[in-house]
Structure 1
């Protein structure tokens, strides 16, 4: 294995032996770098270039990889150690080209950068770009239709008629067309076209396949912008038109028209003939977003997310590579698509933790989107009503530009936010809605307006225990309680996916009918709402009830048609929906998320509840938000009531600054997992003893992870914290080199962790 480029001199060659041309090929597998291969002696691949997708042997099988290059673009502290060169005689030859578009240089640099930054094998990052199991297999050739063009020269003695003249005029003016389309444009029957073809006046031609995606028209339906929107919209148009790398935060209160404004940047990008990428935190949002996009541009964007079928994934991958997919909207993995001419990157709801990839290659899509824009020399726009502290720190340091929208579009006012002190206004025994909130719901629906109840907890109850012996239903694979889903009659673990039928008796003491749900989930709140408001038309919006974008689009359409009186949902309802007739939002448990030792608990809670509150009063009717809380004096609740997000984030920053917690320092988590607690403890202890030290460097742990057992594996955590001017990657790389994991143990690295479970 070696990280060589084309034509590197072959080491270990016998005197007099002819040099073999070699290339580096990166495979989408967990190897630390590319492998060297020889070009075939027959010369058929002598013109192969970096980025081309090729088939190569690996052991006894054939793999698809990419001809790789190293151009020195990585910062020195990120660069992995070089591999050892392979002797000339041991090189295996490249088999063939794979028949796929080449990966652009900017994408190859991006793959290298992400791998080095996250300390991941570059092949695993390449796998996200290549998608070998679905997208990178050679797609079957599309059938090419037959069309017709005027013969040259025209046949002698051709009978002339008005219909025939119209056909020949259209064929000359509009170029080769299929028979049916040619007849339609000329206003004649198909027999006229066939007659001209039989007479030799039309010659057959092969038509290129129609593009998979219609081209959006930047001038199709420009929006009418308010005075407060015009300046930010023009600023973003100018950035997109000028090109070049920059980062801009577009901050605006909920309902201020941020989407319409950044679509003007997309229009400017399209007018320059370049492609745009928009990242959304949830694929469920794509349904409403694509509708707004189609109204603005007259065509739908290309979608990229996990719900796409294999064929559409292949088609989209190729359309991005050949440039016919002009705008892509997708989840975080869309960052790794092979854009031919990327000119704009937008991250909507940039504060969302859903942008963090926790499995496999761990990366934050918001941060990597900025890197991708830099690699393609394109502007990046980060969009949020409640920007993350990291983004605000970059604004404060002058690294990011800042555009602010402080008013809602169309004259709508911000909702009135109130707390309900649950100590003073508790619900009835066994219920969870305060009488104050229940009365407000009844009044709102009585006026014919819509209301929403929010609880960020799926299922019926988060915990089930036995009244007789106190036994709690726990996951056999994780240190987590099983969540009851009464509608499906199961208990399940939301961490590993384990599920079982709800037991009729206590598994421990066998007592019948003794299992009692503790606490509410959305199913239990729905049960209470149905009993309290028997005539209300209720819709539950949660990942369990809305399995994909199509189901979500149907739910949103029903709400827009006013077929729903009360929406009950989890965090999916907080994500940018526009419900013009919804005037009341009730948060069942506003304190949820504030407990525990999570560094970002307060920041996340204020962001989530601010987003939920933003669903209320987005049109003419004023909105009201009611937060049920046992601690209404908490700074988070006060910030929401006062609408003072800016001051809250300033105070949050001042609390983190002294201990150089992010964004004023850097973190890297090492997670040890093993089949036995002894193996996990041994590797964790060894890591603790070999931990790096120095000025501005601190290691916390080892300690059992909050989820000490996950999917049957025992887990321990260590946390490296450094000042912001100290790169954690070389420290972690050297640290890991000193501690080989025990047999059966594994060490996972999470650079910039946001979850501490």
Structure 2
């Protein structure tokens, strides 16, 4: 039988002999590894991928570093490993990462392992195509056609169709050569899955400050030891060219590089820039890939045949055999935080993996997180800066439009000053962008007769109208319903009205105000993947678009040379709700959006529509004073020991039964830990008190920076026995509080 075994992560490679008891970690949310026996003739060591019996089925797993638990299960009761998979073993650094993340996030190690085994088909030996090769020493009288075919083959191994094409003969001639014994079947050599980027293909001419930063990164990579660098530069300052120089040095060192992007499926301009620099595209890893591409890519990474990989946060768990550089671009982005399953922050785990791999880690942003800035100020990270834009372009001028003094016309959302600015921009033949971080037509639909609001049945959230689809949609659980003709509460017909704007409603207003302008909406509804993103970028670059209306995806590093005006329709959006990081996130998002304007020789202009232009975020944006904003933010957080000057961990208690969730939260609250440097807030209903059909309550553990919260959480949870229908989700270092 299989049995859980103790953990003892040695990280040492070894070879298990036949009959040896081994621990196998399965990619399942189980408490630990299970003991099995290697049968006669089967040899495997730590890191080997194996097939094992589990209950009545066969499961994949990895021989782990845990010591077998012979004390509890007799040898005769062990089940045998079925097979060792023909794949490169999981290396010690990745096994250690799995253990580290499991311990840090309080997740079962098998649940973390599952993320590192994301392409099970890649564990099989890749198929090889067959062809023909010459039989050495064989002789026979042949026709001129056969002689040409034999000459075309030469000393290579080629498919029959290729031989026939090169020689200008039929396939029958090739078969004739085989019939007289002059050629024989042979496996074709495997072609490289990805072309190798060339580090010196087209190196850019760097400005002095770029070259200084690039030289520091090259030196760090060449040293082949762990270190973290925060690369901070204003939007358009050439940060990408600098860290691509570090990628080039990694290639010269013969090591692999990983670049994490928050929205890899939308990064068409970045990928084009990479190919221009290195003469070949990188390998990609994101959710849009087909299963075949994932299999090929995973295997290529494991065998060292993918020198550079660019991916989303899940790429952090790929099996790199010699990882020399990890770049986290836009390191401040919340997209790097995984909120479901194993809850982790890819930025922080990238630093951990770099340490385990003796690699260089580079965190890149124009608006870095306060956590990264604090680490740099404390000397844990090195800090490099690029203070000016590339090519002499000036930063855009930012101003606020006080909506109290310049309200839009009734039923509209664009103020007269912003409308006038768009009119002037389009008249000059330049492009303008209107930004509103809200998808759909309207965030709320209510009945004028009875006041009923259209709400999601599964979540504490309003249904968002998507007028183009004629549907109401919940952006949290995906619930959809057709827009009704009458109010479902009172039955009044034609009484439902939209409240507030989404990008579809702004597009409607723009169509009335600027009927001649060619418009493009950029939102996740209209730009669903790489192909759509590439086409949108092409249209804008080729000036087939005059006016862009977009959500937050327009802030993701786009470079539009002819875009000179950015209008933020609702700059106050995101500042409410009492979120600890609301101001920081709003500042980062609006700063990034503002950075789209004036990136070439023409000056840029940014207009922020706001009911609170005196807010510190608006004033910092107007003054272009991100450092000053962070200093003020730090001054607010440090006295109360809020992150990064203290620790937070959230417990989210949920159940399909509202009373069970409330009871579970109350019991955990009564068992809350006490001690120096500890404070528990709650329990309280979560802001999203109902999500995907589950009722939710939250508790927040607040601790001094020097406190290790994991042992406190383990002890706390062990003191309360909750019913099976109540689920407790642990979020160490939360970035959101919904």
- TM-score tier, shorter chain, comes to over 0.9
CA distance in 2, matches of 1:378, 1:530: 52
Distance 1:224 1:137, change over 3 A: closer
Please state if 1:272 is matched with 2:253.
Answer: yes
RMSD of Structure 2 on Structure 1 (CA): 2.5
The residue aligned with 1:594 is 575
- How much has 1:136 moved relative to structure 2? 3.9
Distance 1:255 1:166, change over 3 A: farther
Please state if 1:104 is matched with 2:104.
Answer: no
The residue aligned with 2:44 is 48
The residue aligned with 1:371 is 352
Please state if 1:509 is matched with 2:511.
Answer: no
* CA contact 1:455–1:588 (8 Å) conserved in 2: yes
Alpha-carbon displacement from aligned partner over 1:593-636 (angstroms, at most 9, x marks no partner): 11111000000000000000000011111111000011111110
- How much has 1:144 moved relative to structure 2? 2.1
* CA contact 1:148–1:178 (8 Å) conserved in 2: no
- How much has 1:227 moved relative to structure 2? 2.2
Alpha-carbon displacement from aligned partner over 1:171-226 (angstroms, at most 9, x marks no partner): 56xx6566777899xx8656899699899787765321212111111111111212
The residue aligned with 1:57 is 53
Distance 1:154 1:63, change over 3 A: closer
* CA contact 1:139–1:314 (8 Å) conserved in 2: no
**TM-score under structure 2 normalisation?**
0.93
Q: What residue ranges of structure 2 are gaps of 5+ in the alignment? A: 11-17
The residue aligned with 1:34 is 33
DSSP-derived class of the 1:526 partner: helix
CA distance in 2, matches of 1:530, 1:372: 50
Please state if 1:113 is matched with 2:109.
Answer: no
The residue aligned with 2:378 is 397
Aligned pairs for 1:443-482 (under 5 A) are 443-482=424-463
Residue from 237, 247, 255 that aligns with 2:228: 247
CA distance in 1, matches of 2:385, 2:336: 23
Residue from 608, 624, 643 that aligns with 1:643: 624
CA distance in 2, matches of 1:467, 1:165: 82
CA distance in 1, matches of 2:488, 2:236: 50
* CA contact 1:142–1:209 (8 Å) conserved in 2: no
* CA contact 2:433–2:565 (8 Å) conserved in 1: yes
DSSP-derived class of the 2:432 partner: strand
* CA contact 2:7–2:32 (8 Å) conserved in 1: no
Please state if 1:2 is matched with 2:4.
Answer: yes
* CA contact 1:251–1:386 (8 Å) conserved in 2: yes
DSSP-derived class of the 2:510 partner: helix
The residue aligned with 1:15 is none
- How much has 1:107 moved relative to structure 2? 0.8
CA distance in 2, matches of 1:624, 1:436: 13
CA distance in 1, matches of 2:144, 2:515: 76
Alpha-carbon displacement from aligned partner over 1:259-302 (angstroms, at most 9, x marks no partner): 11111111111111111111111133332221111111111111
CA distance in 1, matches of 2:416, 2:169: 72
Aligned pairs for 1:619-638 (under 5 A) are 619-638=600-619
CA distance in 1, matches of 2:504, 2:139: 76
CA distance in 2, matches of 1:106, 1:377: 9
Aligned pairs for 1:65-80 (under 5 A) are 65-70=61-66
Please state if 1:234 is matched with 2:236.
Answer: no
Aligned pairs for 1:552-567 (under 5 A) are 552-567=533-548
CA distance in 1, matches of 2:636, 2:495: 46
Alpha-carbon displacement from aligned partner over 1:52-94 (angstroms, at most 9, x marks no partner): 11111111111111111149xxxxxxxxxx9984333332111
DSSP-derived class of the 2:640 partner: coil
DSSP-derived class of the 1:86 partner: coil
DSSP-derived class of the 1:92 partner: coil
- How much has 1:152 moved relative to structure 2? 4.6
Residue from 102, 105, 127 that aligns with 1:142: 127
Distance 1:743 1:146, change over 3 A: closer
The residue aligned with 1:699 is 680
* CA contact 1:135–1:317 (8 Å) conserved in 2: no
CA distance in 1, matches of 2:591, 2:534: 23
The residue aligned with 1:653 is 634
- How much has 1:106 moved relative to structure 2? 1.0
Alpha-carbon displacement from aligned partner over 1:96-134 (angstroms, at most 9, x marks no partner): 113333211111111111111000011111111102xx4
Distance 1:27 1:447, change over 3 A: same
The residue aligned with 1:11 is none
The residue aligned with 2:15 is none
The residue aligned with 2:417 is 436
- How much has 1:587 moved relative to structure 2? 0.2
Distance 1:480 1:5, change over 3 A: closer
Residue from 209, 216, 233 that aligns with 2:190: 209
CA distance in 2, matches of 1:119, 1:157: 74
- How much has 1:403 moved relative to structure 2? 0.7
The residue aligned with 1:318 is 299
**TM-score under structure 1 normalisation?**
0.91
- How much has 1:5 moved relative to structure 2? 8.1
CA distance in 2, matches of 1:647, 1:83: 60
